[in-house]
Structure 1
Amino acid sequence: MQHHTNLIRGGLLAACLSAVAPVAALAADVSIRLGHVLPESHSWHIAASGFADEVNTATDGRVQIEVFPSGQLGSEKEVIEGLQFGSVQAGLIGAGSFQGVEPRMGIIEMPYAWASREQAFAALDGELGAALAGMMEPKGIKVIGWWETGFRNITNNVRPVEKPADLAGLKIRVTPDKVRLATFETLGAEPAPLSFGELYSALQQGLFDAQENPLTIIDSASFYEVQKYVSLSEHIWGAATLTMSKSVWDKISPEDQAVVLAAATAWGEKQRDMVAKASAELIAQLEAKGMEFNEVDKTAFIEAVAPIWESQKDVYGEELLTILDTYRK
């Protein structure tokens, strides 16, 4: 009889556990490490930290995000690989860095694609952003927000760059991105890829003459200590892609997913405002730190990079290029 009672108790316990299990799974905390390569002083980190705090509070800790700046979780390439495998749960990553897994992501950072930041925001908050996010999901990556890197400008230690011919012979570091390499080869420079974390020391040691980044990064990464000339080329506008591993995203309840998306949008707006405010003040600040600024002949640059657009037509496809063109008019 005792044996029979134990069996009944065991069966009831198992039944109770199985009934509770799905509820427990839903209520389980989802711990997320969010990595990016920029320093703590940059708007990426300030906004990502605000986003994390808001999600942690609004979900009562069901979704817990911790932010790791300065490449602590690896280079952008390594974080992207981690997102695909689920070993890194989230990342704030330059859009162009995703070309290794989805070449069409490069359309955002084509040379002189955007006449203004507002034009780019309209596209990414609209049809272009939706189309690109849809292409990323099968790669195991969920796009939850389009933030901003900003317009990139060329710095170097040799001479002011005012026209494409001034780039001749300059060894310039670029992001590990085929289109970026091709762009600067077309412009007559000598580009080579290097991870962001190694860039300061490479410039300091003279391994590179030049690099290209937005003013906010030139300042926050202290490139003014190792570069002299800033040419306001604004040759590429870059998006920052707030992403999550799809496997992790799918563990979050629909209600909490809505909270995450709302926080990503709200902090994206704040981050964009930070970029605009910083850019307006940075020229004077960087001049005070010893950098020399010059304008460039943008028409000459736009004409010089026309072959890059022609070469990428087949990569992006007619449908995506048509969407892009609706926002560029």
Structure 2
Amino acid sequence: MKSIYSMAAAVGLGFSVLAAPATAEEDWKLASAKRTPDVGATFDQEFANAVAGASHGLGKIEVQFVGNEQEMVQQVLRGRLDFGVTSPLALAAAMPDIAVLNVPYLWISRKERDFVYSHHLMEPLAAMFEEKGLVLLSVQEAGYNGVFCKMNCSDPVALKGQKTRVSPSASGRMFWESIGTIPVQLPLSDVWPALEQGLVVAGDLPIGFYSTTPGAAVAQHFVYTDHIHSPWLYFVNKRVWDKIPAETQAAIRKAAPTPFSTTDRFLADQDQRAQAFTEKGGTLYKLTDEQRAKWAALVTPNIEKFIGTMSDRVKTVYEAIKKGKTEFAAQR
């Protein structure tokens, strides 16, 4: 897999050629919850620019902000939006099995994660999307979640019995229940007023994204628990894909990027956003190994039981992940 931009361009080109005269220009929508100054918005715009450039004027993609990610996914499924990009946490309502990607404390290193995705996860992920009428185009970086709070919550004891925002992902709910909180499921757009009104006191997101949201002015404590990793998943409505000629589809797949090719840029931006968070009055808590282990000790004993409650496919994918982790360890 090489370039998502060439691949996306081919999508725009392939459909434009089929659906309109050569002089017309197709207007596609790429829906995302990211917006400037979040670096994810930069990646999304690069995707859109690449599609327009490679289509030689036959098509273009406009990035459209959609704050409610669950609704955005539904709009792409219905064909009202053409492309989408989000994390498994937002896809979980439509694709419950994808919660396997957000199992807490799943990866021991970036290299391990990249190896397992490349050798064991891309095929089952593609199948999940296919079953829902979507085509997975690229797997990129959305970072590790930390915990944001309205008070110092560097020790998980501070959150016991508190109401916390949880995404539709079963993995996220398992994490918060293990910590001893009362999870309240909310779409992302409702989190910020819920924090202001005291309906919840905490939640979890990557620092780079969280620092750009209205919540950062209300809940000014952020703990680097790094408990859940999320990829950033680009996808397209399958009806669009199926109209592309087979040879163009083959070229698209050949041109697709290797997984997580945006990670270095993403991590550099995370550091900048973290500093901006502190400059606006926020407090960061970078945990020692012992402190982080205290969080993990509450969660990891529940992981195997959690997997046991999931579908047979989740169990199969989780076993493939464990096999990949074992292969990676053997190589080292």
Q: What TM-score range do you get, normalising by the shorter chain?
A: 0.7 to 0.9
Question: Aligned to 1:61, what secondary structure does the other structure show?
Answer: coil
Match of 1:94?
Answer: 87
Preserved contact between residue 83 and residue 140 of structure 1 (Cα < 8 Å)? no
Preserved contact between residue 232 and residue 295 of structure 1 (Cα < 8 Å)? yes
Question: What percentage of aligned pairs have identical amino acids?
Answer: 22
Q: CA offsets per residue over residues 157-205 of structure 1, 9 Å max, x none?
A: 122322x323212221121223312320121012211111222222223
Of 203, 215, 234, the residue aligned with 2:226 is: 234
Instruction: Note the C-alpha offset of 1:136.
Output: 1.6
Which of these two proteins has the greater Rg computed from alpha carbons? 1
Match of 1:278?
Answer: 269
Preserved contact between residue 50 and residue 267 of structure 1 (Cα < 8 Å)? no
Match of 1:299?
Answer: 293
Give the gaps of 5 or more residues in structure 1. Answer: 1-22
Q: CA offsets per residue over residues 57-96 of structure 1, 9 Å max, x none?
A: 112234432111243xxx2222222222222211011113
The answer to whether the aligner puts 1:311 opposite 2:306 as a matched pair is yes
TM-score, normalization: structure 1?
0.82
Question: Aligned to 2:92, what secondary structure does the other structure show?
Answer: helix
Question: Aligned to 2:257, what secondary structure does the other structure show?
Answer: helix
Which aligned segments of 4 or more residues in structure 1 are displaced greater than 6 angstroms?
A: none
Distance 2:189 2:95 in 1: 23
Match of 1:46?
Answer: 42
Of 235, 241, 245, the residue aligned with 1:249 is: 241
Aligned residues: 303
Distance 1:201 1:274 in 2: 31
Of 144, 150, 153, the residue aligned with 2:143 is: 150
Preserved contact between residue 63 and residue 252 of structure 1 (Cα < 8 Å)? no
Distance 1:166 1:264 in 2: 45
TM-score, normalization: structure 2?
0.82
Letter aligned with residue 87 of structure 2: G
Q: What's the C-alpha RMSD, in Å, of the aligned pairs?
A: 2.7
Question: What are the residue-to-residue correspondences of 1:6-155 with 2, within 5 Å?
Answer: 25=18, 30-71=26-67, 75-155=68-148
Segment of structure 1 superposing worse, 271-280 or 191-200: 271-280
Distance 1:284 1:88 in 2: 35
Letter aligned with residue 108 of structure 2: A
Distance 1:253 1:32 in 2: 19
Give the gaps of 5 or more residues in structure 2. Answer: 1-15, 327-332
Instruction: Note the C-alpha offset of 1:323.
Output: 1.6
Letter aligned with residue 40 of structure 1: T
Instruction: Note the C-alpha offset of 1:147.
Output: 1.5
Of 189, 196, 210, the residue aligned with 1:197 is: 189
Letter aligned with residue 199 of structure 1: V
Q: Could you say if the C-alpha distance between residues 65 and 126 of structure 1 is closer, same or farther in structure 2, counting changes exceeding 3 Å?
A: farther
Distance 1:145 1:38 in 2: 17
Instruction: Note the C-alpha offset of 1:118.
Output: 3.5
Question: Aligned to 2:285, what secondary structure does the other structure show?
Answer: strand
Match of 1:160?
Answer: 153
